[in-house]
Amino acid sequence: MSVKETLKQLESEKTKVLMAELYGAEKAEENRARYRYVAERFEKTYGERDIKLFTSPGRTEISGNHTDHNHGKVLAGSINLDCVGAAAPNGTDTIRILSETFHQNFSIHLSDLKPSTGMSGTIDLTKGILKGFEERGYKVGGFDAYITSNVISAAGVSSSASYEMLICSMLNTMFNEEKMDVVTYAHIGKYAENKFWNKASGLLDQMACAVGGLITIDFKNPEAPVVEKIDFDFGAQDHSLMIVNTGKGHADLSADYSSVPNEMKKVAQYFGKEVCAEISEEEVIANLAKVRAFAGDRSVMRAFHFFEENKRVEQEVKALRENDFAAFLEGITASGNSSWKWLQNVYTTADVQEQGISIALALTELFIAKKGRGACRVHGGGFAGVIMAMIPNDLVDEYTEYIENATGKGNVYRMSIRPHGAICVSDRI
C-alpha cells in the first residue's frame, strides 16, 4: 500500500477502533498522528514506496522479578508505550534503519552479521535478530525502515525488547508470510541479546512485548514456555498502573544485572543442576551450610527469592482470576519487599550512595501508608531505573505531584495494559 493509501487508511473507522484498543480512547488520536508522521517521514527519507506500519509495545512486570532466566514464573503485561515503524523491502542485500528517537541512521549488509568487538548498540542487536532468523531457517532480505519510540529508554520497561520484537514483526511480515509465531520472536530477541549484546537476559521482556495483553508465563521448559492470557480489566478496579523514572538508567550496570541469574545458577550447580527451577527450596535449606560455602550467601538469598517469587506469581494469578484485587495488591507488595531484601536489586553495591530506586520506593511506601491504599515495587532489572506503583485513580494526581517534587517533573507515566503485542498494523486496518 502506498504512503498516500496508507494515510487514507489511517482515517478509517477500523483504524480508530484499533488505536483505542492499543492506546486507550483518550490517547487514540495522538497516536494515530504518530503513524501518519512515521509514514510521511519514511517517504521523505526513502522515497515513494508501498509500505507497512508496525507497532511493538514496552512491557510492565507485575511479579516474577528475575525468575525467567532460571526458568521460573512471571506475571507481566504489554503497555501503551511502544515502538512504531514504517518499513518496506528495498530489493537489495542491505538494511537501512533510521531511528528518530535515538538519533541513529545506519545500514547493515546481510553478508556482515558478525557482532562488533564491543558487542553493544542497536546495530549489533539488529544483526543478532537477522542472524537469529537465518539460524532458524527463516528468510531475511534488504529493507528500509523509519522508527520512532516513546518507550522509556534504559529504565526497566524494555525499550530494547520492544525494538527487537518490532524488527522481528517486520522480517516475519515482509519475508516470511507471517509463518513465525511470537514465541519464536522472543527466542530470537533473547539470542540477539545473549550472543550479540553480551547480556545474560531471559525471555520475559521479549515474551511480554511479543504476545501482548496481561499474561503469565511458566518458563520451566524455556524452548516451549507455557503462556496464558489473563482476562482481567485493571481499569474496572479504579486503579492506575504508574511507572516512576527515578532519573538514572541501568544501561551501565550489566555486571549487576548479570550477577543475578549467575548467582542463582551457582546455587543450582551445587546440586548438579543448571537452574533453580530444577531444585527445591527444601533441598537448599537441608544443605544450607554446604550451599553457602559453595555459592555464597547472596547467591542463597537470591535463590530463596526465586522459590518464593514463583509461589507469589501463582497466588497473584489466582487472585486476578477470582477478582480478588486486594489480595493481588498484597502480592505486589510482598514481591517488592522480596526484591529489595532477598534479591537485593534495588541499588548497586558499586555506588551505595546512588539509591534513586530506594528513595522512590520509600516515598511511595510513605504515601501508600498514609492513604491506606495502593502498592509498589522495584520494576524490571533493578539497581537503577524505575519503580512500579498501583495507585487508586482518585489519588493519581496527588501522587504524581508528590513524587515529581522529589524525582523531577515528567518522570511519572500513567500506563494501561494493551491487548496486542508486536503486530503489523497495516494488516489490521
pLDDT tens-digit series, residues 77-124: 899 899 999 999 999 999 999 999 888 999 999 999 999 988 888 999
User: Which residues does residue 227 pair with via DSSP β-bridges, in sequence order?
Assistant: 217
For 85, residues 6+ apart whose C-beta sits below 8 A from its C-beta are: 38, 53, 54, 55, 145, 146, 147, 148, 166, 170
Q: Is the model more confident about 120 or about 297?
A: 297
In this predicted structure, the answer to whether residue 156 has a pLDDT above a threshold of 70 is no
The verdict on 103 and 214 lying in the same domain is yes
- Within 13 A of 252's CA, how many CA atoms are on the CB side? 4
Residue 273 to residues 199, 202, 265: CA-CA distances in angstroms?
A: 22, 18, 8
Q: DSSP for 187-209?
A: HHHHHHHHHHS-----SHHHHHH
| Cell 554446604 belongs to residue | 290
**In the prediction, which pLDDT does 29 show?**
95
The verdict on 306 and 326 lying in the same domain is yes
The verdict on 161 and 195 lying in the same domain is yes
Q: Residue 264 maps to which CATH number?
A: 3.30.70.890
The verdict on 52 and 184 lying in the same domain is yes
The verdict on 222 and 263 lying in the same domain is no
The verdict on 371 and 238 lying in the same domain is yes
- Angle between helix axes 297-321 and 325-338 (nearest 10 degrees) is 170
Q: Residue 53 maps to which CATH number?
A: 3.30.230.10
C-alpha cell at 157: 520497561
Q: DSSP for 299-345?
A: HHHHHHHHHHHHHHHHHHHHHHHTT-HHHHHHHHHHHHHHIIIII--
Q: How many domains does the chain have?
A: 2
Q: What's the full length of the chain, in residues?
A: 429
The verdict on 361 and 273 lying in the same domain is yes
Residue 315 to residues 73, 284, 324, 354: CA-CA distances in angstroms?
A: 11, 23, 11, 33
State the pLDDT confidence band at 299, using cuts at 50, 70 and 90: very high
In this predicted structure, the answer to whether residue 254 has a pLDDT above a threshold of 70 is yes
Q: What is the arithmetic mean of pLDDT over 309-317? A: 97
SS3 (DSSP) at 77: strand
State the pLDDT confidence band at 154, using cuts at 50, 70 and 90: low
Q: DSSP for 108-169?
A: EETT--PPPSS--HHHHHHHHHHHHHHHTT-----EEEEEEE-SPTTSSS-HHHHHHHHHHH
C-alpha cell at 162: 520492544
pLDDT tens-digit series, residues 56-83: 999 988 999 999 899 999 999 899 899 9
The verdict on 152 and 164 lying in the same domain is yes
SS3 (DSSP) at 381: coil
* Domain extent for 75: 3-230+418-427
Indicate the helix (H) or strand (E) that contains 229: strand 226-229
pLDDT tens-digit series, residues 369-414: 999 999 999 988 889 888 999 999 999 999 999 999 988 888 898 8
Average pLDDT of the chain?
93
The verdict on 366 and 280 lying in the same domain is yes
The verdict on 218 and 261 lying in the same domain is no
pLDDT tens-digit series, residues 167-213: 999 999 999 999 999 989 999 999 999 999 988 777 888 988 999 98
The verdict on 213 and 309 lying in the same domain is no
The verdict on 206 and 315 lying in the same domain is no
SS3 (DSSP) at 258: helix
**In the prediction, which pLDDT does 251 show?**
54
**pTM of full prediction above 0.85:** no
